A and B are shown apart, each in its own frame.
Chain A
Amino acid sequence: MALERKHWIWALTAHPVPDLHALAERLAVGCDVRLTRLPQAGLGLLQLADGALHEPYYLGEFPLSTCSLELALADGRRAAGGAQVMADDAALARSLAILDAVLAARLPGWEAVSAQVHSGTARRDEEARRRRAVLAATRVDFALLGNVGEDDDEN
């Protein structure tokens, strides 16, 4: 599965939050972290296109935390990172933005972030598998009465 940047937050947030903080903390050591947008927790507005006439409307709000920053290494390398995550946790957005910057620019330690993205994706896949199981276990096999025996469930 391709691990495009747009899937990183989703994959990383499959892990416990303390693990993400620990990793970000470790990787930020020796970097100069400059916040370009302060870590903030608030709300986002969920806009949908309605299913009948495709008109935009707001279904409601959701907790949202955001942060943007720039990492600078002693050797002059720089990396911009950012995160918008559905959580009421500004510190989480900051840690995710650090991980985003490290992985995007392949700064030292990026392999660890990449590994977390991979294992997070595996967790998400497992979640998806369970949901598919819910669907598969309840799929309706229509058959007209009298066509196949007594009941379509008796096969």
Chain B
Amino acid sequence: MSYVAIKGGGRAIAGAAAVTEYLRTEEGLDNPAAGPLAIDAILHQLRHLVDRVVSEGGVYHPQFAALAIKQSLGDTLEAAFALRAWRSTRPRLSATPPLDTSRMRLIRRISSAFKDIPGGQMLGPTPDYALRLLRLELMDESPEAFRAVARDWLESCPEAQLPDSFPKVLDALRAEGLLPPVSAVRDQAAFDITREPLVFPVPRSAALSTLARAETGSLLAIAYSNMRGYGDVHPTVAELRVGYLPVLLPHPVTGELTEAGEVLMTECEVVAMFEADDAGGKPMFTVGYGACFGHNEVKAISMAILDRALQKGMRDGPGNPSEDPEFVLLHVDGVDSMGFASHYKMPHYVTFQSDLDRLRTTRQKSGGPA
């Protein structure tokens, strides 16, 4: 691989930036009603876009994610790249102890394994049961109507008596002895993918971190290959939850765990094909786990399937692409893969000239016209 140092593009590059900015603001030409996209509007009305960018950027900063979306004109890969670039300039101040996600303040919780789960099932905000019909009335929504919707909904809500947190469905199955015991590596330090390169074999904590900030589409594609038959996870969603997790850090004076803020996250646990354990004990279900910043269920489910597939691959060797840690973990990062794809746009004049030379030489040797 070789690049050539050329010059002469400076003005064109500056022009390209100006043209992009022109397109961002073009709506304002002869249109006094046009205005810039407000960060708050992106945060609320394009929330799933923000969710993708915080999770793929790997840092929970919804405001900057919204800004990145605005400046990249909605390109999630570019926006995640900008957020990663920002985070790389910030010092690392501390890490939380391993937090228990059963303390999440939920807005959604479902199980496809059991009808009745302790605490009940709550659909929360979901498009799952919506007809995929275009809502043409939103084409021209009046600000008054827009403001009335949330207000009316809130006023119509009865006061609800609900607990602050809900138990995990998986814990009930584990209590019955149907699941593998909790991991023996509970006390080991987790792998920090922002500091250590992935040198295989990597521990499961490295896989979980890599999958958690992976690009949604990449993760889905590889998980889908497993679902369709290049694999045999056959998952059942034991629990899928969306909510706000309190972020706890020791108080600087007392040392007591103190709430520094909260993150919106999605979490999914799947139960999969049972296996006999190595010691010849009773067969048990296997389990997979997925989680990410923001509300992104397809990502959490895909990750849970891949976690389960990779556990098998790490133990027995991969039988399918989705069970191969190296194949999966090195190809799901959006910033990595878009960067590689984009780099092909850089001048490769020298390498291509050499390709041309070799082709011509070969053709001459084989007797044809050059």
Contacts and interface: CB of A to CB of B under 8 A. Distances in A.
Interface of A: 5-10, 13, 37, 40-68, 80-88, 97, 100, 104, 128-140, 142
19 contacts: A42-B91, A47-B98, A48-B245, A55-B204, A58-B193, A58-B194, A58-B205, A59-B292, A63-B59, A83-B252, A85-B261, A128-B164, A129-B159, A131-B105, A134-B107, A136-B162, A138-B124, A139-B122, A142-B116
Contact-residue bracket for chain B: 35 or more
Given A52-B289, A55-B185, A60 B59 contact: yes
A88 B67 CA distance: 15
A110 to B, nearest CB: 15
B61 A68 contact: no
Contact of A135 (B162, B205, B307): B162
Nearest to A46: B96
Interface SS of chain B: mixed
Contacts of B289: 50-53
Nearest to B246: A10
B264 to A, nearest CB: 11
Contacts of B243: 131
Interface of B: 54-55, 58-61, 64, 87, 90-101, 105-110, 115-116, 120-125, 154, 157-160, 162, 164, 168, 170, 180, 182-183, 185-186, 188-194, 204-205, 208-209, 212-213, 239, 243-247, 249-254, 256-263, 265, 267, 269, 287-289, 291-293, 304, 307
Given A41-B90, A54-B186, A59-B209, A47 B204 contact: no
Contact of B99 (A47, A66, A84, A85): A47
B322 to A, nearest CB: 17
A86 B258 contact: no
B265 to A, nearest CB: 7
Nearest to A97: B252
B212 A59 contact: yes
Contact of A49 (B54, B101, B105, B124): B101
A14 B58 CA distance: 25
Contact of B287 (A7, A52, A59, A135): A52
Contacts of B257: 6
Given A52-B289, A56-B186, A6 B258 contact: yes
Contacts of B116: 142
Contact of A44 (B93, B123, B189): B93
Contact of A136 (B96, B110, B154, B158): B158
Contacts of B252: 37, 66-68, 82-84, 97
A131 B104 CA distance: 12
A55 B205 contact: yes
B106 A51 contact: no
Given A48-B101, A59-B292, A85-B261, A53 B182 contact: yes
A40 B91 contact: yes
A51 B259 contact: no
A66 B94 contact: yes
Contacts of A9: 258-260
Which of A49, A66, A67 counts the most chain B CB atoms within 10 A? A49
Contacts of B123: 138, 140
A47 B191 CA distance: 10
A5 B269 CA distance: 34
Contacts of A128: 105, 164
Given A52-B287, A140-B122, 16 more contacts: A5-B256, A43-B93, A45-B96, A45-B192, A48-B99, A52-B289, A53-B180, A59-B209, A62-B61, A65-B93, A66-B252, A84-B94, A88-B90, A135-B124, A139-B120, A139-B122
